[in-house]
């Protein structure tokens, strides 16, 4: 040994699982379970775990956790499954919990997006087609909205009332003389405007106002006001009340959901500016999908059971106003459902398990937005795009995407070699039919990626030495429980959702 020249290892590169284990570089280990990296060179045993909820009966059998930012703080939505029923709870902090705010038999997972302090929730489950697992919105289920204060979530939109509006001449006033169509639009406590209902034709007089009675009352307490809409004078009336452009009458508002009379409304056709007819083709109950995202202040829902290759897109600033005719984008059908969608650099990207496309808002209706095929071989799974800290969504100039080839950086195209290049064998040993179990979380402050794996462990990736395939350091973490989901609260606390301890 006197003549031996020492091999100096000044940096430890972490896990290496690529090719023959005998070819593992000297500064890597073929096995390094349950370690965390300290600084740029050191490593030690990973931290232990403790209980997050400090209540008598904490939530058990946790399948999914989302960060839910409200008007007053960052909270959590948690899905627990008991006896085949999915129950979603709102966990405000370690000692405060609401719920279940939503319970659905057969719900196995859910998509979520926050909007204006509200939570929009879509239940989904796994269906099997030709031996492949496919995640789609639950058949017969809907999009739900939760207001954040503990009351149960309800269906987005709302049921429409029956009945016909009664219209009569009012006191002296003014209208354009001739046949008009009148109707009623309901408004909920989330700002959703219903399609016009109770349509009625009436011939107005030039020197008279118009009065309304038998104004329909909507069935549920979340309806908070009603608006009267009208057509302009119809020159040749066919007798069919449908098919005419309708507009909101200025000031024709009933600010409750009980009063059935509104008297002496005057208006000119020139006053009818705000379009109400656009509401006619909107969903009043929105079918469930597999996921949700926000693009240009529009809610996007994708992966419905009956239309798994369609993205439903809302009006700007109105997340529950989704037009059934032109509020859609079509991902080229290939037998696979959509799995994910995300905005990046002003572009909406859509994903299937092995395909990626994009759409760009052209300031016209969504159905006219141009489609571009980005990649015909790589896509991702339902939770395969990393969220950042406790934001619940991407906030960086790139996406971190779990593909069948590996974990990749995506900035409009996939970058290679992939971030997981050093652990290619580890990645390829994961069951591709179980990629729905993957979940990625990026902590850019501590410079760590966490990923729930298909065998329900955590893959820990430290990139303090560089965010590239060569310098990222990997380590698998195992526990005495099965990991299903992860989140970060208070900037740095990792929350793990598990089946049992």
28 within some domain: yes
Last residue of a domain, one of 314, 347, 382: 382
Q: Are residues 377 and 448 in the same domain?
A: no
Q: Are residues 180 and 275 in the same domain?
A: yes
Greater model confidence, 321 or 489: 321
Q: Are residues 445 and 498 in the same domain?
A: yes
Q: Are residues 375 and 393 in the same domain?
A: no
The secondary structure of 103-151 as a DSSP string is EEET--EEEEEEETTEEEEEEEEEEEETTEEEEEEPTT-B-EEE-SSSS
Mean predicted confidence (pLDDT) in 131-146: 97
Say how many domains are in the chain. Answer: 3
Residue 123: the pLDDT is 98
Q: What is the distance between the alpha carbons of residues 228 and 196, in angstroms, rounded to a whole number?
A: 9
**From residue 368, how far is each of 327, 337, 352, 355, 357 by CA, in Å?**
9, 21, 21, 21, 15
Q: Are residues 221 and 269 in the same domain?
A: yes
Which of 2-11, 218-227, 391-400 is most confident?
A: 218-227
Q: Are residues 188 and 268 in the same domain?
A: yes
Q: Are residues 174 and 259 in the same domain?
A: yes
The secondary structure of 384-406 as a DSSP string is -B-EETTSSS--SSSEEEE-SS-
Where does the pLDDT of residue 51 fall: very low under 50, low under 70, confident under 90, or very high at 90 and above?
Answer: confident
Question: Is residue 419's pLDDT more than 60?
Answer: yes
Mean pLDDT of the chain: 94
Mean predicted confidence (pLDDT) in 319-334: 96
414 within some domain: no
62 within some domain: no
Domain carrying residue 403: 1-49+386-409+430-501
Q: Report yes or no: 172 and 207 within 8 Å, Cβ to Cβ.
A: yes
195 within some domain: yes
Q: Are residues 193 and 272 in the same domain?
A: yes
67 within some domain: no
- Measuring CA to CA, which residue among 217, 213, 218 is closest to residue 165? 213
85 within some domain: yes
What digits encode the pLDDT tens for the residues 446-492?
Answer: 999 999 999 999 999 999 999 999 999 999 999 999 999 999 887 77
Q: Are residues 31 and 174 in the same domain?
A: no
125 within some domain: yes
Q: Are residues 201 and 145 in the same domain?
A: no
Q: Are residues 275 and 292 in the same domain?
A: no
Residue 500: the pLDDT is 64
Taking the model in full, what pTM does it have?
0.94
Q: Are residues 274 and 293 in the same domain?
A: no
Q: What is the distance between the alpha carbons of residues 282 and 161, in angstroms, rounded to a whole number?
A: 15
The percent of residues in the chain predicted with pLDDT above 70, rounded, is: 98
127 within some domain: yes
Last residue of a domain, one of 246, 279, 312: 279
- Measuring CA to CA, which residue among 178, 218, 211, 174 is closest to residue 196? 218
Residue 395: the pLDDT is 56
Both tokens of residue 359?
């759409």
């Amino acid at each position: 040994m006197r003549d031996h020249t020492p091999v100096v290892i000044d940096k430890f590169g972490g896990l290496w699982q690529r090719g023959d284990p005998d070819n593992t570089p000297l500064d890597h280990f073929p096995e390094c379970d349950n370690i965390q990296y300290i600084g740029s060179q050191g490593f030690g045993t990973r931290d232990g775990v403790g209980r997050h909820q400090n209540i008598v009966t904490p939530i058990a059998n946790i399948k999914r956790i989302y960060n839910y930012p409200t008007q007053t703080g960052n909270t959590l939505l948690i899905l627990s499954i008991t006896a085949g029923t999915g129950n979603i709870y709102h966990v405000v902090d370690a000692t405060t919990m609401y719920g279940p705010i939503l319970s659905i038999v057969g719900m196995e997972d859910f998509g979520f997006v926050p909007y204006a302090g509200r939570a929009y929730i879509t239940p989904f489950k796994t269906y099997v087609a030709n031996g492949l697992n496919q995640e789609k919105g639950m058949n017969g289920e809907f999009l739900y909205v939760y207001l954040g204060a503990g009351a149960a979530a309800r269906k987005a939109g709302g049921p429409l009332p029956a009945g016909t509006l009664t219209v009569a001449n009012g006191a002296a006033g003014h209208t354009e003389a001739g046949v008009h169509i009148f109707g009623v639009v309901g408004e909920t406590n989330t700002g959703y405007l219903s399609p016009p209902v109770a349509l009625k034709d009436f011939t107005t007089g030039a020197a008279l106002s118009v009065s309304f009675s038998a104004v329909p009352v909507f069935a549920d307490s979340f309806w908070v006001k009603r608006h009267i809409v009208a057509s302009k004078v119809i020159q040749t009336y066919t007798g069919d009340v449908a098919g005419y452009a309708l507009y909101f009458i200025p000031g024709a508002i009933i600010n409750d959901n009980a009063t059935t009379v509104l008297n002496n409304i005057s208006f000119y056709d020139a006053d009818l500016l705000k379009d109400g007819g656009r509401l006619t083709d909107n969903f009043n109950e929105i079918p469930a999908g597999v996921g949700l995202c926000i693009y240009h202040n529009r809610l996007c829902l994708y992966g419905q059971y009956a239309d798994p290759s369609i993205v439903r897109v809302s009006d700007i600033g109105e997340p529950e106003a989704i037009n059934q005719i032109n509020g859609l984008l079509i991902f080229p059908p290939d037998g696979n459902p959509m799995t994910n969608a995300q905005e990046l650099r002003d572009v909406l990207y859509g994903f299937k398990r092995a395909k990626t496309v994009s759409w760009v808002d052209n300031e016209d209706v969504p159905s006219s937005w141009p489609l571009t095929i980005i990649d015909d071989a790589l896509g991702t799974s339902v939770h395969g795009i990393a969220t950042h800290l406790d934001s619940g969504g991407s906030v960086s100039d790139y996406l971190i995407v779990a593909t069948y080839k590996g974990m990749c950086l995506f900035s409009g195209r996939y970058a290679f070699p992939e971030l997981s290049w050093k652990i290619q064998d580890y990645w390829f040993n994961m069951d591709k039919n179980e990629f729905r179990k993957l979940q990625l979380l990026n902590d850019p402050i501590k410079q760590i990626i966490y990923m729930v794996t298909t065998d329900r462990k955590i893959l820990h990736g430290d990139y303090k030495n560089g965010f590239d395939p060569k310098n990222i350091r990997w380590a698998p973490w195992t526990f005495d429980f099965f990991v299903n989901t992860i989140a970060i609260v208070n900037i740095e606390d990792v929350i793990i959702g598990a089946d049992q301890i």
